[in-house]
Amino acid sequence: MAVSNQEFVYYHAGGKRGSRPVLRGAAAKDTFETIPLVDVSGLFSKDIADRKAVATEIGKACREVGFFYAANHDIPDDVISETFEAVKNFFSMPLEDKMEVHLHKSAALRGYEPLFETKMEGTGRGDMKEAFTIGDDPWEPEQHCPYQPSTEEPKRNSWPTAYPGFRPQIYDYYTRVLAFSRKLMQAFALALDLPENYFDAATSFPMVGVRILHYPPQERQDARDIGLGAHTDYSFFTLVQQENVAALQVLNANGIWIDAPPKPQTYVVNVGDFLSRITNNVFKSTVHRVLNKSGEERYSMPFFFSPDKAATLSTVPTCVGEGSIGEEKYEELNAGDYLMERLKAARWQHPSNQGKPPPRVQDVATAEVAAMA
């Protein structure tokens, strides 16, 4: 049997394991090599022409890359730096104070995840990061939920009792990023040639998550130690605030990792699987990973935005048709069920997973390479 020396990149995308051949030289395709930057200040204009001009640029980035830097957003620098201070205070607490809000105690998959608890790529000792997540919770008055939750509906978020100042700081950040996300969502609608308010009805109380992350410096300087394994996001879209340590990388069509270092006063915005799905893959949900080779502690805060739990979404009308767009590829689906399924797939140790084994990407990889030979 011939042995193929084709190199592959392995990842976790759309809830499934996948791989991509690394293409160099004559075999290389036309793909992105940098992450575009979009000045989003026009989204705050009263003039629809200004908003449409930004949307056009966002649309181009979403079709070609799936990632862009948003510059000139309206989240103040001091709110971001104060929130990062709170994030560092949180992670520097003793482990037992963090474990009080362990994600395994939460049916909504909220709370703290210690180092190596997830294993996005299915190999090695796991993702070298600790995380804490909160999100939409109709019981928390800070969120001004537009409906009265039923008494059967459990509370979703948990906050550490050892750090009372944490919650107000996170909420200051949350409230502002949510408002900015709504502007971006309208820009995505315009970018798809839809009315600006197209997604408004499906996002009256959107499923969101503020996730804070701490990546210690990796001991090994190659990808055998990984901060967060290669994946696509489950969200509609994500806004990542990174502090000052470069580690985020985005995979292009040639299987080459493109750096997405922090740029002052910007967000990294990326399309998630949900938005890609309802655009018939016209908008790309692009694989990315975190590799902290800097030798420094890295902190970041992704904000995930998705439709209402009860929303049912089907392919948008402007993304079905003739030619390059093609036939509708996906059935309509309930947003809440989809998100929960995806979150659980990445957290095999959660009690609700009933002891199912972790994903084993390397097995698939070996089989694929054998099939090519």
Which of 55, 80, 184, 290 binds ligand AKG (CB under 6 A)? It is: 290
CB 312 within 8 A of CB 330: no
- Nearest to residue 125, comparing CAs of 116, 134, 137? 116
Q: Please, which residue, 276 or 280, has the CB nearer to ligand AKG?
A: 276
What type of residue sits at position 86? A
Say which entry of ligand AKG, Fe ion, none residue 300 contacts (CB below 5 to 8 A, set by partner kind). ligand AKG
Q: Please, which residue, 188 or 237, has the CB nearer to Fe ion?
A: 237
- Nearest to residue 239, comparing CAs of 267, 212, 206? 267
Does residue 136 bind Fe ion (CB under 5 A)? no
Shortest distance in whole angstroms from residue 326 CB to ligand AKG: 29
Does residue 127 bind Fe ion (CB under 5 A)? no
CB 38 within 8 A of CB 57: yes
Shortest distance in whole angstroms from residue 288 CB to Fe ion: 6
CB 9 within 8 A of CB 249: no
Helix, coil or strand: residue 274: helix
- CB under 6 A: which stretch of 110-118, 240-248, 306-314, 365-373 binds ligand AKG? 240-248
Does residue 232 bind ligand AKG (CB under 6 A)? no
Q: Please, which residue, 52 or 88, has the CB nearer to ligand AKG?
A: 88
HSE at residue 254, side-chain half, CA atoms within 13 A, is 14
Shortest distance in whole angstroms from residue 227 CB to ligand AKG: 7
Binders of ligand AKG among 191-220, rule CB under 6 A?
211, 213
Binders of Fe ion among 213-242, rule CB under 5 A?
233
Say which entry of Fe ion, ligand AKG, none residue 242 contacts (CB below 5 to 8 A, set by partner kind). ligand AKG
Ranges of beta strands (E only) in 216-277 are: 228-231, 237-242, 248-251, 257-259, 266-271
Rg of the chain over Cα atoms, rounded to whole angstroms, equals: 20
What type of residue sits at position 280? N
Say which entry of ligand AKG, Fe ion, none residue 189 contacts (CB below 5 to 8 A, set by partner kind). none
Helix, coil or strand: residue 270: strand
What are the structure tokens assigned to 128, written together?
């070298």
Q: Which residues of 299-312 are buried (b: 16+ CB within 10 A; e: fewer)?
A: bbbbbbbbbbbebe
Binders of ligand AKG among 294-353, rule CB under 6 A?
300, 302
Does residue 17 bind ligand AKG (CB under 6 A)? no
Residue position matching structure tokens 């607490």: 93
Q: CA 157 → CA 108, 110, 142, distances in Å? A: 8, 6, 12
Count of residues in the chain: 373
Which of 38, 184, 185, 248 binds ligand AKG (CB under 6 A)? It is: 248
The residue number whose beta carbon is nearest to ligand AKG equals 300
Binders of ligand AKG among 94-123, rule CB under 6 A?
none
Q: Please, which residue, 198 or 303, has the CB nearer to Fe ion?
A: 303
Residue ranges binding Fe ion (CB under 5 A):
233
Residues forming contacts to ligand AKG in the complex (CB under 6 A) are 211, 213, 228, 233, 240, 242, 248, 288, 290, 300, 302
